[in-house]
Amino acid sequence: MKMKLGLAGAFLALGIAATAHGDAETAAWAPETFTLDNGMEVVVLPDHRAPVVTHMVWYKVGAVDEAQGKSGIAHLFEHVMFTETDDLPPGEFDSIISRNGGQLNAFTSWDYTAYFERVAVDRLELMMELEAERMTDLIINDDPEGPFISERDVVKEERRQRVENNPGSLLFEQVMAALYEGHPYSIPVIGFMDEVSALTPQDGLDFYTTWYAPEHAILIVAGDVTGEDVLTLAEKTYGQIPASGIERPDRGWGPVADLTESETIVYSDPKVRQPEWDRYYISTSYRQDADLAYALAVGLDAMGGGLTSPLYQALVEEQKIAVSASAWNFFSLHDRGLAGLSASPAPGTDLDTLEAAVMGEIASILEAGLSEEDISRSGRLLAASAIYGLDSQSAMANTYGRALSTGASIEDVMEAPERFRAVTAEQANAALRALFVEDQHHITARLLPEEGL
């Protein structure tokens, strides 16, 4: 083990200080960063209000990395990470943490998989030992009646609960398939039922040995610690793991393509009582084009982000043909993300009328252009939400983890409030007009009650 504290850390800290963020929202949680010898990144977010920490390990692997026909393996594997290791018999991982007053969980997305524990600060080293243990010494039991198989059944129940019991989720799967044809974002993170049913312990082992290694992981510790505390403990635990040296496979897909035609997907279900209308556009992400993403995020918020927005005011308050109407973005992805419009009709309004009214309102907002006042209000509100976010230790850890694992930097996170505030009306209007231009293709989703209802 060699201390490599780093110059990387010191320079980064200087870099941050030099970027003139004297604002309170960035000073409160000034992060410290290091890289261990094995390539594992470390981010420390000191918060001394309570003697507790949020300890997270983010792996830069997710559902996009699944082999053809193996949908759901990234997520099922996340479940399997809680079963057993060389040193920890079945169930012991969770038991040890619980007996130490810790809470734990994990989550999987397209671009990342994250594991976390929340615990009293004097147990931080134990959490690191446990996470380091399962980074290298996981046992995947291949007993056909064993824990891999019962966990697969659990995931199938999870899919029923999240997706198959929910008509809106079933429709969303079809929408994503149409939006991202040829790109892995088209495949649901939880996987297709038939493919999940066919996953084997060998699939789990393959996934583990290919992707789980310190050089593909980011450690985030938020809470009652200093950078020095964390570095010492991280070197003792994660620092003992050699880099795997395994080349990550070529992800094997190209950039997200523009849509070549517009399509409307209709889904009817006897459980639907309230119709919903959504229109989705392939757009950008903070990673792909930050300037455009910030301009659009602020512009979409000013156009339809809240109760005072012109879209909501026109459809809900004035015309009274909708009970909700909004414009939104999903830009926290590695590849191109989505922008969209959503509305739910007032009783007695059909979706044709609603769609025409929404698009008519968008056209008139764009024609008039959003004012400098509208844009600066949205910019300030989005920046302020970063200040309110400072209250939650786990939210802060999540914000940095998600950003870093989708290709952004520490500075990108710290600069976000300022970038929201810096968007001008000219930039926002130009970005919105390019997004909603007449011949832009889109996918429209209509969720409807069963015929005849």
Partner 1 sequence: MLKRNWATGCAAVLALGLSACGGGSSATDVDATSTLDVNVHEGDFAQIASFTTPGGVSVWLVDEPSIPIVSFQVAWPGGRSADPEGLEGLSQALVYMMNEGAGELPSLEFTRAMEDQAMSFGCSNGRTWTSCSASMLSESAEESMELVALAMSEPRFDEQPFERFRREQDVSLARRETNAGFLGNEALQAALYPDHPFARNVTAESLEALTREAIATQKDAVMVKEGMIVTAVGDISPEEFAPLIDSVLAGLPETGSVADVAPVEMSDPTAAPIVVDLPQPQSRVSFMAKGPSRDDPDFYPSVVLNYTLGGGGFESRLMQELRVDRGLTYGVGTSLSGAPLFSTWSGGGQTKNESTGEFIEVLKSILAEMSETGVTEAELSDAKAYLTGSYPLSFDSNSKIAGNMMSVRQQGLGIAHFDQRNAKIEAVTLDDVKRVAETYLSPENFTFAVVGQPEGL
Which residues form the catalytic set? 78
Q: How far is the CB of 438 from partner 1 (least distance, A)?
A: 30
Choosing from 4, 13, 21, 28, the residue that interacts with partner 1 (CB under 8 A) is 28
What is the side-by-side order of every strand in the sheet holding 322-330? 263-269, 443-449, 276-282, 338-345, 322-330
Strand bridging mode 41-46 / 32-35: antiparallel
Number of residues that bind partner 1 (CB under 8 A): 64
What residues from 83 to 142 belong to the interface with partner 1 (CB under 8 A)? 91, 94-95, 98-103, 118-120
Residue 192 CA to residue 175 CA, distance in Å, equals 15
Mark the segment that binds partner 1 (CB under 8 A) among 172-180, 255-263, 305-313, 420-428: 305-313
Nearer of residues 288 and 344 to partner 1, judged by Cβ: 344
Residue 142 CA to residue 146 CA, distance in Å, equals 7
Choosing from 137, 142, 391, 426, the residue that interacts with partner 1 (CB under 8 A) is 391
Query: Taking CB under 8 A as the rule, does residue 198 contact partner 1?
Result: no
Query: Taking CB under 8 A as the rule, does residue 151 contact partner 1?
Result: yes
Neighbour-count burial of 332, counting CB atoms closer than 10 A to its CB (0-12 exposed, 13-18 middle, 19+ buried): middle
**Neighbour tally for 423: CB within 10 Å:** 24
Q: How far is the CB of 102 from partner 1 (least distance, A)?
A: 7
Binding pattern for the stretch 29-48 against partner 1, x by CB under 8 A and - elsewhere: ------------------xx
**Neighbour tally for 242: CB within 10 Å:** 13
Asked if 393 and 223 touch (Cβ cutoff 8 Å), the reply is yes
| Concatenated DSSP letters of 269-285 | ETT--S-EEEEEEE---
φ, ψ of residue 420 to 5 degrees: the values are: -60, -45
Choosing from 30, 346, 422, 430, the residue that interacts with partner 1 (CB under 8 A) is 346
Residue 313 CA to residue 424 CA, distance in Å, equals 23
φ, ψ of residue 378 to 5 degrees: the values are: -65, -40
Binding pattern for the stretch 371-390 against partner 1, x by CB under 8 A and - elsewhere: ------x--xx--x--xx-x
What residues from 217 to 236 belong to the interface with partner 1 (CB under 8 A)? 223
Helices vs. strands in the chain: H and E counts, helices first = 17, 13
Nearer of residues 155 and 327 to partner 1, judged by Cβ: 155
Q: How far is the CB of 404 from partner 1 (least distance, A)?
A: 22
Query: Taking CB under 8 A as the rule, does residue 82 contact partner 1?
Result: yes
Choosing from 169, 392, 424, 440, the residue that interacts with partner 1 (CB under 8 A) is 392
φ, ψ of residue 393 to 5 degrees: the values are: -60, -45
Asked if 393 and 54 touch (Cβ cutoff 8 Å), the reply is yes
Nearer of residues 142 and 317 to partner 1, judged by Cβ: 317
Query: Taking CB under 8 A as the rule, does residue 441 contact partner 1?
Result: no
Query: Taking CB under 8 A as the rule, does residue 366 contact partner 1?
Result: no
Residues contributing to the site for partner 1 (CB under 8 A): 24-25, 28, 47-52, 82, 91, 94-95, 98-103, 118-120, 147, 149-158, 160-161, 164-165, 223, 270-274, 306-308, 313, 316-317, 320, 323, 344, 346-347, 377, 380-381, 384, 387-388, 390-393
